[in-house]
C-alpha cells in the first residue's frame, strides 16, 4: 500500500467516534462539531430556524450524512496526493526542456536557424555568448518586476538559471534554485528558497478544504562580499559616529523571508507579507520557470486575476519597509504564516481539470 493510501486510511480511522478516554485532538474536534450540529438542531427546534434550515427529527440522518461528507473530503485529499505524486514523477519530462533552454541561454549550445528559413544563418562569431541577461529580462517581464530594484540588476545579470524541484519526501513541497555565475556581490553559486505544502482537511473547518496549500517557507544564507549586501543600506550619521544599517527593498529579500515579518507591525500586516511571499514563490514555480521564453519574448502569458490583486503593503508601497529597524539574520531563514496560502486560489498555469 502506498504512503498516500496509508495516510487516507489513517484519517478514515480518525473519523470513527472515540471509544476510549484517550481522544486525539482530531477526534475531539469531530466530537465538538457533532455537538455544534446538535446545538444548531436544538435552535431549529426552538423555532429560530430560517425557512430553508434543517427540519427537526433528522439528527441521526445528519450525523450519517456529515460522516459521508467528511469521507468525500478525505478522498479528495487522497486524490490530490496521488496527483502530486504523478507530478513529481512527471517533472523529468519538463526538466529535459529546461536543461536544453539553459544550455542555449548560457552559450553551451549554439543552435542554427532551420534550413528552410530564407534568412541567412547568423554568423556565430558576431553573436554574444548565449543570451545575455535572459533571466533578468524574464523577471522584469513578469509580475515580479516590482521586486527588482535598479541596484539589484548588476547581481541579477549573473543569474544563469532558475529551476524548481518538486518533492514528495520527506514532505510535499518545492525547492526553488537560483543559479549564479561568479559575481561581485556574493560567493554562493546557488540561492534557494523552499516551500512546504500540506494537503489535509483542517479538523476545525473541513468544509474549507481546497487541496494543497503552502504553509511554510525557508530561505538561505547569502554570503555577501564585504560592503555588497543589497538587502541593507549603511548610513554614517556623522564623522566618526556609529554607522546605522537599515534594511532596504531588494529582490534578494526573497531569500530572507524572516525580514518579511516584523515585530513592529501588527500580525495582519505580517500575515499579508508572508502570504504575498507564498504567492511569489508559487508564481515562480508555475509561471516564471515554465513560461520563461514566452516572458522573455514579451508574449502575453495567461494571467490569473489573483496576481493583479496582490494588495499587501509590500506590493502597493514597495518603499514602506525602508524605515524599519534591521533584525538580526538567523543562520537559516524560516517563516511560517498563521494563514496558509491555498494553491487552488493562486493557481495559474499547469493546472489540470479536476
CA-to-CA dists, residue 188 to 95, 154, 206, 217, 249, angstroms:
23, 15, 43, 20, 20
Kindly state the cell numbers that stand for 154: 548588476
Q: Give least dist CB 208 to a second copy, A.
A: 4
When asked if residue 24 is in the footprint of a second copy (CB under 8 A), the reply is no
Residues between 160 and 179 with contacts to a second copy, criterion CB under 8 A: 166, 172
Whether the CB-CB separation of 6 and 20 falls below 8 Å is answered with: no
Pairing of strands 213-218, 159-167: unpaired
Residues between 199 and 218 with contacts to a second copy, criterion CB under 8 A: 199, 205-212
Count, residues near a second copy per rule CB under 8 A? 103
Of 256 and 277, which CB lies nearer to a second copy in the complex structure? 277
Residues between 334 and 353 with contacts to a second copy, criterion CB under 8 A: 342-345, 347-353
Of 128 and 170, which CB lies nearer to a second copy in the complex structure? 128
Cα distance from N-terminal residue to C-terminal residue, the chain = 24
Q: What is the DSSP letter of 243?
A: E
The residue assigned the cell 470513527 is: 16
Bridge partners, 165 (sequence order): 175
Q: If you write DSSP's letter for every residue of 206-234 in order, what string do you get?
A: GGG--S-EEEEEE-----BPTT--TTEEE
Q: If you write DSSP's letter for every residue of 281-309 in order, what string do you get?
A: HHHIIIIITTTHHHHHHTPPPP--HHHHT
Of 332 and 345, which CB lies nearer to a second copy in the complex structure? 345
* Residue 58 CB contacts under 8 Å (≥ 6 apart), including other chains: none
Of 205 and 268, which CB lies nearer to a second copy in the complex structure? 205
Distance, in Å, from the CA atom of 269 to the CA atom of 265, rounded to the nearest integer, reads 6
Q: Give least dist CB 183 to a second copy, A.
A: 19
When asked if residue 1 is in the footprint of a second copy (CB under 8 A), the reply is no
Q: Give least dist CB 28 to a second copy, A.
A: 14
Q: Which of 182, 238, 302, 308 binds a second copy (CB under 8 A)?
A: 302
Q: Which stretch binds a second copy (CB under 8 A): 136-144, 186-194, 223-231, 273-281?
A: 136-144
Q: Within 10 A of 56 (CB to CB), how many other CB atoms are there?
A: 12
Residues between 94 and 133 with contacts to a second copy, criterion CB under 8 A: 94, 97-98, 100-101, 104-105, 110-114, 116-117, 119, 121-122, 126-128, 130-133
Q: Give least dist CB 312 to a second copy, A.
A: 15
Kindly state the cell numbers that stand for 207: 468544509
Of 92 and 331, which CB lies nearer to a second copy in the complex structure? 92
* Residue 215 CB contacts under 8 Å (≥ 6 apart), including other chains: 196, 197, 198, 336, 337, 340, 341
Of 302 and 328, which CB lies nearer to a second copy in the complex structure? 302
Q: Which of 297, 318, 332, 338 binds a second copy (CB under 8 A)?
A: 297
Residues between 3 and 22 with contacts to a second copy, criterion CB under 8 A: 17-19
When asked if residue 141 is in the footprint of a second copy (CB under 8 A), the reply is yes
Residues between 67 and 86 with contacts to a second copy, criterion CB under 8 A: 68-69, 71-72, 75-76, 79-80, 82-84, 86
Of 42 and 225, which CB lies nearer to a second copy in the complex structure? 42
Q: Give least dist CB 230 to a second copy, A.
A: 19
* Residue 272 CB contacts under 8 Å (≥ 6 apart), including other chains: 312, 313, 314
Q: Give least dist CB 18 to a second copy, A.
A: 8
Amino acid at each position: 500500500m502506498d504512503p498516500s493510501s496509508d495516510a487516507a486510511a489513517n484519517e478514515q480511522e480518525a473519523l470513527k467516534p472515540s471509544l476510549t478516554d484517550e481522544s486525539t485532538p482530531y477526534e475531539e474536534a469531530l466530537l465538538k462539531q457533532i455537538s455544534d450540529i446538535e446545538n444548531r438542531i436544538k435552535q431549529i427546534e426552538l423555532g429560530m430556524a430560517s425557512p430553508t434550515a434543517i427540519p427537526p427529527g433528522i439528527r441521526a440522518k445528519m450525523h450519517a450524512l456529515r460522516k459521508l461528507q467528511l469521507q468525500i473530503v478525505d478522498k479528495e485529499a487522497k486524490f490530490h496526493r496521488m496527483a502530486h505524486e504523478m507530478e513529481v514523477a512527471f517533472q523529468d519530462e519538463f526538466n529535459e526542456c529546461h536543461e536544453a533552454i539553459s544550455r542555449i541561454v548560457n552559450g553551451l549550445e549554439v543552435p542554427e536557424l532551420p534550413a528552410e528559413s530564407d534568412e541567412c544563418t547568423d554568423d556565430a562569431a558576431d553573436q554574444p555568448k548565449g543570451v545575455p541577461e535572459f533571466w533578468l529580462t524574464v523577471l522584469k517581464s513578469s509580475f515580479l518586476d516590482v521586486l527588482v530594484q535598479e541596484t539589484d540588476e548588476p547581481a541579477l545579470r549573473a543569474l544563469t538559471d532558475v529551476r524548481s524541484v518538486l518533492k514528495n519526501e520527506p514532505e510535499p513541497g518545492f525547492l526553488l534554485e537560483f543559479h549564479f555565475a561568479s559575481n561581485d556581490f556574493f560567493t554562493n553559486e546557488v540561492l534557494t528558497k523552499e516551500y512546504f505544502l500540506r494537503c489535509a482537511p483542517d479538523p476545525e473547518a473541513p468544509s474549507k478544504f481546497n487541496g494543497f496549500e503552502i504553509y511554510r517557507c525557508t530561505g538561505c544564507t547569502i554570503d555577501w562580499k564585504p560592503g555588497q549586501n543589497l538587502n541593507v543600506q549603511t548610513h554614517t550619521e556623522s564623522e566618526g559616529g556609529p554607522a546605522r544599517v537599515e534594511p532596504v527593498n531588494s529582490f534578494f529579500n526573497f531569500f530572507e523571508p524572516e525580514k518579511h515579518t516584523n515585530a513592529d507591525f501588527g500580525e495582519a500586516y505580517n500575515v499579508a507579507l508572508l502570504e504575498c511571499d507564498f504567492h511569489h514563490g508559487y508564481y515562480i514555480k508555475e509561471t516564471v520557470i515554465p513560461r520563461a521564453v514566452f516572458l522573455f519574448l514579451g508574449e502575453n502569458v495567461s494571467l490569473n486575476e489573483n496576481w493583479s490583486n496582490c494588495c499587501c503593503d509590500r506590493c502597493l508601497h514597495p518603499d514602506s519597509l525602508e524605515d524599519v529597524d534591521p533584525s538580526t539574520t538567523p543562520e537559516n531563514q524560516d517563516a511560517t504564516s498563521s494563514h496558509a496560502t491555498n494553491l487552488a486560489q493562486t493557481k495559474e498555469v499547469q493546472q489540470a481539470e479536476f
